[in-house]
Amino acid sequence: MLIGELAERAGTSARTLRYYEQHGLVEAQRTANGYRSYDEAELRVVHEIRALLAAGFGLDEIRPFVACLRAGNTAGHVCPDSVAVLRRKLTEVDTYIEQLTAVRDRMRGQLAHAIEQREKTCLKTR
């Protein structure tokens, strides 16, 4: 399929596909007239790339998932290198959650204190 068809079927743009290709994530063959031509398997690769990007993975983190698909696996997360990336990313997400939980708890405390002070002020003015 040509780049326009792949872009349409993947829900992205031809420019984005060329970007993925530039970074070695998508592979295209060239037709006799120089057009990019893609195998059907590239559609699965592009879907995997887009899903991982949406989940916060960087292009370098995505490489093992693409390699796993290219090795003939039905999913990009089943290979050892992909599992290692998933473990690192999960640790990163857990750290963010801990940090955000601490921020939320601090804000709740500040809000509770502010409400308490406001109520005390209102009672004094009555």
pLDDT digits (tens, 9 = 90+) for 75-109: 999 999 999 999 999 999 999 999 999 999 999 99
Inter-CA distances, 87 with 25, 59, 63, 90, 96, Å = 21, 16, 15, 5, 14
Task: List the chain domain ranges.
Answer: 3-124
- For the chain, the residue count is 126
As a whole number, mean pLDDT of residues 45-53 equals 96
Is 124's pLDDT higher than 80? no
Q: Select from 1.10.1660.10, 3.60.110.10, 3.30.70.20, 1.10.260.40 the CATH code of 3-124.
A: 1.10.1660.10
Q: Check residue 28 and give its pLDDT.
A: 92
Q: Check residue 126 and give its pLDDT.
A: 63
Q: How many CB atoms lie within 10 A of CB 10?
A: 21
Is the pTM above the cut of 0.75? yes
Q: Check residue 125 and give its pLDDT.
A: 66
Cα dihedral 45, 46, 48, 49, rounded to 10, equals: 120
SS3 29: strand
Is 8's pLDDT higher than 90? yes
Closest CA to 78 of 90, 65, 91: 65
54-81: pLDDT as tens digits: 999 999 999 999 999 999 999 999 999 9
